[in-house]
Amino acid sequence: MLKDINLGRYHPGTSFLHRLDPRTKLVFLPVYIVCIFLARTVLTGIAGFLVLLALIALSAVPLRFMLRGLRTPLVVLLIADVLNIILLDDGLRISVWLTLRICEVVLASNLLTLTTRPGEIAAGLEKGLSFLKVFRVPVHDLATMVAVAFRFIPILTQEARDLMDAQTMRGADFRHGSLVRRAKALGPLSVTVFASAFRRADEMALAMDSRLYGFSDAPGNLHPLRYGREDAAAYICILCFLAVMVLMRTGGL
Amino acid sequence: MVRVEHLCFGFDDNIILRDITFEVKDGGLFAITGRSGTGKTTLARLLCGLLEPVSGTVEVSVQPRMVFQFPERQLFARTVLEDVMYGPLNMGMDEGKAREAALTTMRKLGLGEDLQNRSPFSLSGGEKRLAAIAGILAMDPQILVLDEPTAGLDAFGCDALVRILRALHDEGRTVIVITHDGQIMKELIPDGHLEL
Amino acid sequence: MIGLRGVRFRYPDNPEGNAALSGIDLDIADGAFTAILGAAGSGKSTLAKILDALLIPTAGTVSVDGLVIDSAARPTGELLMKVRSTVGMVFQNPVNQIIGDTVEQDVAYGPSNLGLDHAEIVRRTDAALRTMGLGELRLRNPAHLSGGQMQRLAIAGALAMGTRHIVLDESLSMLDPQGRDEVLANLRRLNREEGLGIIMISHDARDCTGCDRFIVLDKGRIAMEGCPEDLALKKDVLRALGVRTC
């Protein structure tokens, strides 16, 4: 199950999506989420889903990576669906929409992280939100935090596995035994995971200090972000999609 | 006793261990050496049952216990004593017996009484390593696997560790050491050796 | 030229206990390969951080190429920037000092933070990658490198900032023998061919083969100084001070 946590796992590639400026992708994600929640009919629901499928195909990321992050939300969703169907009058319709939308959100987020490196996401956030600097918002720090968090996720999930092994050697059982017993094993695990995360963060902060993090108001970039023709095309598509969904919603479709 | 026959392990297209065969007799002192990335830690995990072989067999007379390379991986309790007691308690010992086992083990390893009630996070590197070994040793394992026990230790730490490994060997336990430290190999003089 | 005079350091969360450093006087010439040895707790890491201005001494002064950091005044941002550009640091854990997504981004991190213009960042990154033989790996994810390669990457990152002295804080202790040889060979080449100053901090005398001189710290003081021949001749003394020898 730990293997399935997809967030932060960049999948190298040269597809159209990989080549897009990170800002374009960062704009697309919230717009897409708004659109799928605007959808109320079968027509718009399918349209939203087809758009996602098209993008997944465009990304050239193997399906098994794209689908990995879905297992846990699906388990939770299925429980919610069963409850909805049993308890609510309109349960089936609500369940279908809920499941569809959550899956779409997860898949769209995966699309972003699988095709964009953490550093690129940070650079995109920083450049895109740089207007906030006028209001004294620490944009550079926030963008760095996002990038470091993304970078740590695969490291920590890998480490959690090692930590589980270490405690298993001491007789902790994460897989068998009563739920109570298994839950008890999580206590020591969470302490070690947090301790490890803090230690890594400490060491990384020192390394960043030694390489002068935060010393310039205008840090440079090896590959400065620049919009290209593909980004223009992408923005046009995004705007069209949004416009269509809004129109269909207001038109009762 | 540990017997490994034609062990293979890997995932996706990546073969990490290919046709490994060796045997460690009861009470033996065995060393596994090799460059980083050759699968030493993977082999250790297979020996301890943390991983399943893709093919081949791993036969052990009792459950081996492994001390991992980084003590921070297992230290978690509020005090060192509580931490060392974790293993024995998990084995079903009652609190009194577990405390006794923990205290005896700590004394054997030279972890002074003043360390008992301290947080494991406040210990020095060498002390943490001893605390981690104590945590496993308190469970009285007949087969012990240690992953790079001397990595990063200064001369005092190394001497202490070599003494401990020899003592464990003298007690009749089966000790398997994974190391790339040539100097330690010379001091330990293992009965058997596998180079990956 | 790096000079330390009467440097003391006490960690703020341990005001009653022993000081980490109790009076260090040390001169390090440009282009020298100096080894600082000692057991765990001898003050080595503290000294490493003071050399890179990551810690400010609680007493005494540190001067780097004429720039002075003393305990009395808080150093300005500009002073810290100059010192940390002149003295680079490679840490013990190869993984936790990686900041970039790709090898080239990691090397470019320092120059980017210096606010240099784009052409200069590219030039320095390319030069550092070339010097450390990492050109072919430039688009690789640094997390997938070997330990030795990661430490070489860290050195490249320091070089790109224009450092003239590299402090290596136990940087070889987590590497296997091949990784260690790889990094040491690169360091000795940089020292010989580029005149880069090397300050190797370790608990293992084998890490300083090729050094010009070494000092040994014990409980925050300099307990011994010597030249390379002494590493072999004075093994017992070194072991008694907690330093591993061949």
Per-residue pLDDT at A202:
92
Give the pair of three-digit tokens for residue B100: 């006794």
Query: Among residues C119, C165, C78, which one has the least CA distance to residue A215?
Result: C78
Structural domains present in chain C: 2-240 (3.40.50.300)
**Chain A residues inside the 8 Å CB shell of B121:** 195
pLDDT in tens, B60-108: 999 999 999 888 888 889 999 999 999 999 999 999 999 999 999 999 9
C114 in A contact zone (CB under 8 Å): yes
Alpha carbon distances (Å) from C32 to B147, C202, C211 = 36, 17, 8
Residue A225 has pLDDT above 50, yes or no: yes
Which token pair is C143? 């997390």
What phi and psi, each to the nearest 5 degrees, are found at residue C125? Answer: -65, -45
Give the gap in angstroms from C-alpha B194 to the nearest C-alpha of chain A.
23
Amino acid, res. C98:
I
| Closest chain C residue to the Cα of A140, Cα to Cα | C113
- What does the block give as tokens for C190? 């940089």
Whether B182 sits inside 8 A of C177 (CB atoms) is yes
Residue C123, H or E segment = helix C118-131
Q: Which residue has the higher pLDDT, A66 or C28?
A: C28
Question: Using 50, 70 and 90 to split pLDDT, how confident is the model at A193?
Answer: confident
Distance CA C240, CA A165 (A): 37
Beta bridge mates, B67:
B146
Scanning every residue of chain A, which has its alpha carbon at the shortest distance from the alpha carbon of C114? A216
Residue C173 to residue C244: CA distance in whole angstroms: 12
Residues of B belonging to the active site: 148
A249, β-bridge pairs: none
Beta bridge partners of C222: C217
> What is the predicted pLDDT for the residue at B165?
94
| Element containing residue B19 per DSSP (H, E) | strand B14-24
Chain A neighbors (3+ CB pairs < 8 Å): B, C
Which among C64, C156, C141 has a CA at the least distance from the CA of C103? C141
Cβ-Cβ contacts under 8 Å for B61 (sequence gap 6 or more): B1, B2, B26, B142, B143
Interface test with B, best of A165, A168, A170 (most B CBs within 10 A): A170
**Coil vs helix vs strand at C165:** strand
CB contact under 8 A, B76 and A166: no
Q: Does C144 contact B at CB distance below 8 Å? A: no
Asked if C157 reaches chain A (Cβ–Cβ under 8 Å), the answer is yes
Measure CB to CB from residue C174 to each of B152, B154, B158 and give the nearest one.
B152
Residues 6+ apart with CB under 8 A from B1: B23, B24, B25, B26, B59, B60, B61, B174
CB-CB under 8 Å, B154 with C242: yes
Residue A1 has a pLDDT of 44
Residue A2 confidence (pLDDT): 46
Q: Which of helix, strand or coil describes residue B169?
A: helix
C176 and B153 within 8 Å at the Cβ level: the answer is no
**pLDDT tens per residue, range C56-90:** 999 999 999 999 998 888 899 999 999 999 999 99
User: Under an 8 Å CB criterion, which residues of B touch A?
Assistant: 45, 48, 50, 65-68, 72-77, 86-87, 90-91, 121, 135-136, 139
What is the length of chain B?
A: 196
- How near does any CA of chain C get to the CA of B185, in Å? 13
What average pLDDT does this structure show over C131-151? 94
Interface check for C110 against chain A (CB to CB < 8 A): the answer is yes
Burial class (CB in 10 A: 0-12, 13-18, 19+), A224: exposed
Chain C 186-245, residues with CB within 8 Å of chain A CB atoms: none
Residue A194's identity, in one-letter code, is F
Helix, strand and coil content of chain B, in percent to the nearest 5, comes to: 40, 25, 35
* B36 with C203: Cβ contact below 8 A: no
The reply to whether B155 touches chain C by the CB within 8 Å rule is: yes
Q: Which of C25, C31, C24, C46 is nearest to C198 (CA)?
A: C31
Residue B72 sits at φ, ψ, to 5 deg, of -60, -20
Touching partners of B (3+ C-beta pairs < 8 Å): A, C
Which tens digits make up the pLDDT trace of C175-185?
988 999 999 99
pTM of the prediction? 0.90
Of the partner residues B36, B154, B157, the one whose CB lies closest to the CB of residue C176: B36
For residue A188, pLDDT beyond 80: yes
Using only the alpha carbons of chain B, give its radius of gyration: 17
**In which band, very low, low, confident or very high, does the pLDDT at A70 lie, cut at 50, 70 and 90?**
confident
Q: Amino acid identity of B57?
A: T
**A123 band by pLDDT with thresholds 50, 70 and 90:** very high
Contacts of C173 in chain B (CB under 8 A): 151-152
Q: Which positions in chain A touch B90 (Cβ < 8 Å)?
A: 170-172
| Averaged pLDDT, C101-113 | 95
Q: What is the DSSP letter of B144?
A: E
Going by pLDDT thresholds of 50, 70 and 90, the confidence category of residue C238 is very high
User: Would the pLDDT of B172 be above 80?
Assistant: yes
B68 chain-A contacts, CB cut-off 8 A:
162, 165-166, 169
Provide, as residue numbers in chain B, all residues whose Cβ is less than 8 Å from the Cβ of A168.
50
Closest of A54, A45, A57, A43 to residue A101, by C-alpha: A45
Q: Which two tokens stand for residue C69?
A: 């950091």
CB of A199 within 8 Å of a chain B CB? The answer is yes
Question: Given the structure tokens 């846990």, which residue do they identify?
Answer: A72
Residue A75 pLDDT > 80? yes
Task: In whole angstroms, give the CA distance from residue B178 to residue B193.
Answer: 10
SS3 sequence of chain A:
CHHHCCCCCCCCCCCHHHHCCHHHHHHHHHHHHHHHHHCCCHHHHHHHHHHHHHHHHHHCCCHHHHHHCCHHHHHHHHHHHHHHHHHCCCHHHHHHHHHHHHHHHHHHHHHHHHHCCHHHHHHHHHHHCHHHHHHCCCHHHHHHHHHHHHHHHHHHHHHHHHHHHHHHCCCCCCCCCCHHHHHHHHHHHHHHHHHHHHHHHHHHHHHHHHCCCCCCCCCCCCCCCCCCHHHHHHHHHHHHHHHHHHHHHHCCC
A6 pLDDT higher than 60: no
Average confidence (pLDDT) over A88-114: 89
